[in-house]
A and B are shown apart, each in its own frame.
Chain A
Amino acid sequence: MSGKIDIDKIAQLARLKLTDAESDRLGGHLEQIIDYIDQLNQLDTSSVEPTSHVLPIHNVFREDKAVKFADDDVDYLAGSPANNQGHYEVPKII
């Protein structure tokens, strides 16, 4: 590990459990990406407006109208690992 990337911390933040082999491989990939970004950073972009979105559009809105989601016979709860009285059940949170 070259020190640019703390792959263990990143994995932990992403809730991923990586094997040593995966850590090495993915850490390497991330290093390459960072190196590429570093390369781009060498360009003078002071006169370029930062990109906020890849599409050249802005101001897409919906009107404030409450509408029940269409064809709502889907039971979302049924897709959850566990539920109780209309609630999603999760590990105990303090």
Chain B
Amino acid sequence: MKYEVVIGLEVHAQLKTQSKIFCSCSTEFGKPANENTCPVCLGMPGVLPVLNKTALQLAMQACLATHCSIAPMNRFDRKNYFYPDLPKGYQVSQFALPLGLNGYINIQMNGTRKKIGLTRIHMEEDAGKLIHGENLGSPGKSYVDFNRTGIPLVEIVSEPDLRSAEEAREYLTQLKAILDYAEVSDCNMEEGSLRCDANVSLRPVGQEEFGTRTEIKNLNSFRFVQKAIEYEVERQTQVLEQGDAVVQETRLYDSNKGVTFTMRSKEEAHDYRYFPEPDLVPVVIGDEWIQETQDKLPELPEQKRERFTQDYEIPEYDAGVLTTSRAMADYYEKSVSLYPKPKIVSNWIMGELLKELKNDEREIGECSVKPEDLTDLLKLIDEGTINAKMAKTVFEDMYHSGKPARDIVKEKGLTQITDSSAIESMVDQILQINADQVEQYKNGKEKVFGFLVGQIMKESKGQANPALVNKLLKERIG
């Protein structure tokens, strides 16, 4: 039987604040264990949490950037369960009356736009970090660091609108870009500021009703989300084809083995007994505040993508890649302002620059080649000092050494050969060595021309001006 894959994602994003959601402890990452804690986030009796206004403001930005409507009245509830990473015995979260409702984001799949609905966006506090005993102290114990406890999060819940692991990944890429542009979160996955749970089910193609779903928890990279879903789809397909039923359960992904496994089944699932948090008062948001926030939102990825294709006349694909982060889009625009050939700039960023960054797993903000350095290099090509092929080598050098293009060209004596007589003698030499090929060319085998150009370029160590080589060769044998 053919099955349709149905996926919904729950994304937790850390709000970019200085202090925690209900107390003044710092949110700084990497501090010694339990340094960023106080009686409020440790859940001591008698303390009074107070909502961080910036956290609320950023959560509103997340809602408006994803077309959610903001509830005029929202409030916090207690989600009760016992787990050692939760000192109070409950998590403060918005359950009954969340901040944002009914939004959407657009994703691009193979050139087609698809709208993915958002059910809700709510605020909540993060839990602490558990460390296995093997890694600290005694193997028979676990250890808790409460520095993360009380870090402000938004949980963004999608509708079950995603139909493949690739769509899920694309959705995450877009969502991350939006949160980055709207300055809601720094979306640093290594530091855990963006995490994802995936709900996955299958149903026979054509069936309206959803199949039984499993939830894969705590996926902390886009690649793992995609891999885990792919595995889960495969597993559920096998279960169904054997005539068995999928069990509703929570699963975890083992990234080393590339498999998902049961964490807990629905029978053991928690009964959270939500009730309104009496220590926090409701939040009332007027139209004026919403409008003010809306007006302050910067240009978002989708708008920027459209503007790039119109203003710079670059392909939609290029615009998509160049707008995946605000830093990259800014880098591109700065470069184009210095060197107004948008498509050439785009090719260099998407080609050479992203290749190097990807190898190093670095972000564009950490790149030593700044827009003015890149455009200086491109100007050297236009001036005829170096050719495009040499420029690629120079770029690699710039990226690793941080030196300006002109210095590298000078140091390495990489000037392009534009002296006709020098090239002519190379042409002669190659024609002599390759007399057979010249004969073939004269008999109509035109492809040989390219081969000969290649040989001449090689002879010049890549430094000959390719246009001149073509011209002179044509004169000789054309």
Please, what's the 1-or-0 string for B266-293, where 1 marks a CB less than 8 Å from any CB in chain A? 0000010100101011111000000000
Nearest B-chain residue to A72, judged by Cβ: B38
> Among A58, A59, A65, which residue has its beta carbon within 8 angstroms of that of B19?
A65
Once the chains are docked, how many angstroms separate the CA of A54 from the CA of B56?
Answer: 22
- Is A4 among interface residues, defined by CB-CB distance under 8 A? no
**Given A52-B73, A87-B144, A88-B143: A65 touches B24 (CB 8 Å cut-off):** yes
Number of interchain pairs (Cβ within 8 Å): 129
Once the chains are docked, how many angstroms separate the CA of A93 from the CA of B141?
Answer: 7
Nearest Cβ on chain A to B290's Cβ, whole angstroms = 14
**Given A53-B276, A93-B130: A85 touches B19 (CB 8 Å cut-off):** no
- Is B146 among interface residues, defined by CB-CB distance under 8 A? yes
| Contact B24 A62, beta carbon cutoff 8 Å | yes
**Given A66-B28, A92-B142: A87 touches B33 (CB 8 Å cut-off):** yes
- Is A45 among interface residues, defined by CB-CB distance under 8 A? no
Once the chains are docked, how many angstroms separate the CA of A91 from the CA of B17?
Answer: 33
| Contact B24 A53, beta carbon cutoff 8 Å | no
Which interface class (under 10, 10 to 19, 20 to 34, 35 or more) fits B?
A: 35 or more
Nearest Cβ on chain B to A53's Cβ, whole angstroms = 5
- Is A90 among interface residues, defined by CB-CB distance under 8 A? yes
Nearest Cβ on chain A to B139's Cβ, whole angstroms = 8
Once the chains are docked, how many angstroms separate the CA of A84 from the CA of B135?
Answer: 12
Chain A positions within 8 Å of B, measured between CB atoms, are 9, 13, 15, 52-55, 57-69, 72, 76-77, 82, 84-93
Nearest Cβ on chain A to B345's Cβ, whole angstroms = 38
Nearest B-chain residue to A88, judged by Cβ: B144
Nearest Cβ on chain A to B83's Cβ, whole angstroms = 8
Additional A-B contacts beyond A57-B281, A62-B19, A90-B142 (12; CB < 8 A): A52-B97, A59-B284, A66-B19, A68-B24, A69-B25, A85-B33, A86-B32, A86-B35, A87-B34, A87-B143, A89-B137, A90-B144
Q: Which residues of chain A have C-beta atoms less than 8 A from B138's C-beta? A: 84, 89
> Among B28, B84, B137, which residue has its beta carbon within 8 angstroms of that of A93?
B84
Q: Which of B45-53, B232-240, B298-306, B386-394 contacts A (4 or more CB under 8 A)?
A: B45-53
Nearest Cβ on chain A to B144's Cβ, whole angstroms = 4
Q: Which residues of chain A have C-beta atoms less than 8 A from B39's C-beta? A: 69
> Among A54, A61, A84, A93, which residue has its beta carbon within 8 angstroms of that of B136?
A84
Q: Which 6 A-B pairs have the closest CB atoms?
A: A64-B54, A87-B143, A69-B38, A61-B53, A66-B26, A84-B137
| Contact A91 B34, beta carbon cutoff 8 Å | no
Nearest Cβ on chain A to B382's Cβ, whole angstroms = 48
> 6 pairs across A/B with beta carbons < 8 Å?
A54-B278, A62-B50, A64-B19, A68-B24, A72-B38, A91-B141
Please, what's the 1-or-0 string for B18-45, where 1 marks a CB less than 8 Å from any CB in chain A? 1100011111100011110111001000
Q: Which residues of chain A have C-beta atoms less than 8 A from B97's C-beta? A: 52
- Is B121 among interface residues, defined by CB-CB distance under 8 A? no
Nearest Cβ on chain B to A25's Cβ, whole angstroms = 21
| Contact B52 A62, beta carbon cutoff 8 Å | yes
Nearest Cβ on chain A to B283's Cβ, whole angstroms = 6
Once the chains are docked, how many angstroms separate the CA of A86 from the CA of B137?
Answer: 11
- Is B120 among interface residues, defined by CB-CB distance under 8 A? no
Once the chains are docked, how many angstroms separate the CA of A50 from the CA of B396?
Answer: 65
Once the chains are docked, how many angstroms separate the CA of A30 from the CA of B284?
Answer: 34
Once the chains are docked, how many angstroms separate the CA of A90 from the CA of B143?
Answer: 6
| Contact B34 A76, beta carbon cutoff 8 Å | yes
| Contact B75 A53, beta carbon cutoff 8 Å | yes
Nearest Cβ on chain A to B184's Cβ, whole angstroms = 14
Nearest Cβ on chain A to B53's Cβ, whole angstroms = 4
Nearest Cβ on chain B to A83's Cβ, whole angstroms = 8
Q: Which of B1-21 contact A (CB under 8 A)?
A: 17-19
> Among A59, A66, A72, which residue has its beta carbon within 8 angstroms of that of B283?
A59
| Contact A66 B24, beta carbon cutoff 8 Å | yes
